[in-house]
Amino acid sequence: MTQPVYLGRMPHPEHPNLQVLDHPLIQDKLARIRDVATPTGLFRSLVSEVAGLMVFQISRDLPVCREVVQSPLEETEVFRLATPVTIVPILRAGIGLADGIASLMPEARIGHIGLYRDEESLDPVSYYCKLPDDIAKGPVFLVDPMLATGGSAAAAVKVLREHGCADIGLICLVAAPEGVRAMHDAAPDVPVSTAALDRQLNEVGYILPGLGDAGDRMFGTR
């Protein structure tokens, strides 16, 4: 079994399961994503770009294997990814991140887990799941723009575990401390990578300062 992705990273001083990716390009694009004046098309494009930049940093720990190929001049030893990678967005807002990662890793498979948050209880409600049959053969990037209460992410991890997945990493644009702690309680071995750790949740479970409802802003539905 391969080791979980992201191992060997410096953990956050207060959250051992968290990695904040503070690359200047990521932070510049995140600033524009947060801006309420950013229109839908640009918002969607920026989310995709940030996801690609994030996975470029995160994927440095993916296992590789040696092979020999014939170049136009001679045989040479090369490195290829050792196992298939699967991207699993939490629908619907996770699609924007999945697109950005897939643009960098077009060979990756894409599964889908459909969850929505009950606006009264804040509990996740499942409505769809479609995953590759052999998803457990390699690492899984679980993606969702917001880690708020952590309920949806923990529920998605549970689904992946039920399909045999042991190598799971969560990627999100912004996270709240409450969600990071909830993920640590539910799945301490699942590393969380984010572009920003925000201050807190408000009384209705939205991240502050956050970026609003990522799905609505991405798809222009509000």
pLDDT digits (tens, 9 = 90+) for 142-179: 999 999 999 999 999 999 999 999 999 999 999 999 99
Mean pLDDT, residues 197-219 taken together: 92
Q: 152: burial class by Cβ within 10 Å (0-12, 13-18, 19+)?
A: buried
Q: 150: burial class by Cβ within 10 Å (0-12, 13-18, 19+)?
A: buried
DSSP letters, 125-159, are EEEEEE--TTGGGS-EEEE-SEESSSHHHHHHHHH
pLDDT digits (tens, 9 = 90+) for 6-31: 333 456 788 889 999 989 999 999 99
Ranges of each domain in the chain: 18-219
pLDDT for res 122: 66
How many C-beta neighbours within 10 Å does residue 61 have? 17
d(CA 41, CA 99): 14
pLDDT for res 54: 95
pLDDT digits (tens, 9 = 90+) for 186-204: 999 999 999 999 999 999 8
Query: At what angle are helices 151-162 and 177-186 packed, to 10 degrees?
Result: 30
Q: Residue 161 has what DSSP assignment?
A: H
DSSP letters, 77-136, are EEEEESS--EEEEEETTHHHHHHHHHHH-TTSEE-EEEEEE-TTT--EEEEEEE--TTGG
8 closest CA partner among 77, 57, 72, 41: 57
174 closest CA partner among 193, 189, 159: 193
- Residue 121 predicted with pLDDT over 80: no
- Residue 92 predicted with pLDDT over 90: no
List the beta bridge partners of residue 18: 192
- Residue 77 predicted with pLDDT over 60: yes
- Residue 4 predicted with pLDDT over 60: no
Indicate the pLDDT class of residue 116, thresholds 50, 70 and 90: confident
Query: For 18-219, CATH number?
Result: 3.40.50.2020
Mean pLDDT, residues 208-222 taken together: 90
pLDDT for res 8: 38
pLDDT digits (tens, 9 = 90+) for 37-69: 999 999 999 999 999 999 999 998 888 999 999
d(CA 193, CA 21): 7
- The alpha carbons of the chain give a radius of gyration, in whole angstroms, of 17
Contact 108, 158 (CB under 8 A): no
